[in-house]
Amino acid sequence: MAKGFFTDTTLCIGCKACEVACKQWNQLPAEEYEFSAKSYDNTMQLSGTTWRHVKFIERTTAEDGVPASRWLMMSDVCKHCTHAGCLEACPTGAIIRNEFDDVYVQPDVCNGCGYCVPSCPFGVIDMVAQAAVPSVGPAAGDRDCGSLASGGVEGDESVLQRPSGIAAKCTLCYDRQNIAMTPACAKACPTESIQFGDVDDLKARAKERVTELRTRGVKGYLYGVDETTSVGDLNAFFLLTEPSEAYNLPAKPVLPSTHQPAGYAAAAAAAAVLALAGIAIFWVAPSGPGAA
């Protein structure tokens, strides 16, 4: 049965517990310190080493002429798409759909070709650079199942050994799911803004929540449920209260592989035209100067 996340942004208080819990459980190194000067957010985006990211969206409105500001907080994550661009693009078969119907990157199979990265319409998956892995401890290559490993080297708990040079993203805590545990982010969330469970149950619950919000005058909608786009529904879907662009989410995402037929056809047409020109020039036309 498909397992996923329902992230209800109306409940998020921006505490970043999910971000921290994810880093801890998956042994992901901190991002470099950088002051973004944009809201209470210096991480700014998901990356190969940040698999949950809380966006702090600042909105200013004028209520009765008095400027008011409010926050939209949203914990972003890999969407675990029904039709996943990253999975389709992967030439090694490293990216699979696991038994929980989630999109999982096998760290010991990926060879770092990088094709999944531009193939995700949400800009989620990214490469883990060599530099992101501390050089202490056994070489990263010796321990390929980093995200599944449970701890650092004996006696040196601080050493992180993520495999490097490969693509990485949220695993939907595949390892925890395997032992019937709730993913770390959902477990840590104090407001149940992140809920984990059977996708069908979550969808039903989410629809109820939308109705409830409306009776209270809050206009919300579900992003990633009953979608008609080529990407389809999202196993990690969201309840949003503003147009999706405010959250940096495309209103109508496109599955990149849908461009292939047109591309192959155009290439074949060009090749056919040039082949005919070549035949005319080499085989048919008089051979030019000094022809025998």
Partner 1 sequence: MKPVSPDESMRGAAAGGDLTAAHQSYFGQPVLKRPHWDWKVVAYLFIGGIMGGSGILAALADGSRDKADRTLARSSRYLSLSLAAISPVMLIAHLGRPERFHHMLRIFKLKSVMSMGVWGLLLFSNVALVNAAHQLAEDGKAPRAFRALPRAAVGLMQAGLGAFMAGYTGVLLSATAIPLWAKGKRHIPAISVCSSVASACAANAIVLALVGGPARTISKLERLEFVAACAEAVLLLHFRRHAGESGEAMFSGHLGQSLRNFTLIGGLALPMAHNGMAFAPLRPTQHGLRTILVSALTLMGGYVFRYVLIEAGKASADDPQLALRPPQ
Residue 289 CB coordination number (10 Å):
4
Mask: binding to partner 1, 219-238, rule CB under 8 A, as x and -? xxxx--xx------------
Strand-strand pairing, 3-8 and 236-240:
parallel
93 binds partner 1 (CB under 8 A): yes
Nearer to ligand SF4 by Cβ, of 54 and 125: the residue is: 125
Q: Alpha-carbon dihedral of residues 126, 127, 128, 129, nearest 10 degrees?
A: -130
Which 255-274 residues touch partner 1, going by CB under 8 A? 256-257, 259-260, 262-271, 273-274
Query: CA torsion sign, 160 to 162 to 168 to 170?
Result: negative
Angle (CA) 117 263 253, round 5°: 45
Could you tell me the end-to-end alpha-carbon distance of the chain, in angstroms, rounded to an integer?
75
Residues in 71-100 that interact with ligand SF4 by CB under 6 A: 78-81, 84-86, 89-90, 92, 94-95
**Stretch of 22-30, 103-111, 181-189, 192-200 lying at the interface with partner 1 (CB under 8 A):** 103-111
Pairing of the two strands 236-240 and 167-168: unpaired
The one among 24, 30, 68, 92 contacting partner 1 by CB under 8 A: 92
Tokens of 32: 């470099």
Indicate whether 166 belongs to the interface with ligand SF4 (CB under 6 A). Answer: yes
Using CB under 8 A as the binding rule, whether residue 71 contacts partner 1 is answered as no
Residue 46 CA to residue 77 CA, distance in Å, equals 7
Q: Which of residues 97-126 bind ligand SF4 (CB under 6 A)?
A: 103, 105, 110-116, 120, 122, 124-125
Which residues contact ligand SF4 (rule: CB under 6 A)? 78-81, 84-86, 89-90, 92, 94-95, 103, 105, 110-116, 120, 122, 124-125, 166-167, 169
